[in-house]
Amino acid sequence: VSTPLPSQTAVDNDGGGQCGTSDSLSKDGFGDACDRAINGFEDDTVYTGYTSRYSRLTKGILMFASWGQAACVANFECDDYGIGMKGSDIIAAREKAKKDDGIWICGHIRLSNSCSIVMDYCTNCHSTG
């Protein structure tokens, strides 16, 4: 099953309060965790409902200050899921926004199919869907 690739309609760098950390080690750890979180979507799986994947930070002040619970979460959500979206396309949409718009850590990536990919800081996170 192939799903049509939607286009990006808007992006922003909005996110939780820890998204703006000035600690460079935390920022690197946060970015690495976000890369791992988005890659938790399986390439050939078609996602037809709310889905989230997370990965914990492995370095930086945020990791220690949160007792190891600091993480990056990648959420996939739509107003109308329709035929869904393949994991590889979700990953590709985030990679495009990362490359073109600097959405490495936190932000919203809005797509033409009514779906969004939201990258954010979380603690005590859970993968859903």
Q: pLDDT tens for residues 25-84?
A: 777 888 899 999 999 999 999 999 999 999 998 887 777 777 768 889 999 999 999 989
pLDDT bucket at 13, cuts 50 / 70 / 90: confident
The whole-model pTM stands at 0.88
Sorted by where each starts, the structural domains of the chain and their CATH numbers stand as 8-122 (3.30.430)
Q: How many CB atoms neighbour CB 117 within 10 A? A: 24
What are the structure tokens assigned to 6, written together? Answer: 């939607």
Which residues does 96 contact at the CB level (< 8 Å), separation at least 6? 8
Tell me the residue type at 91: I
For residue 39, the number of C-alpha atoms closer than 13 Å in the C-beta half-sphere is: 7
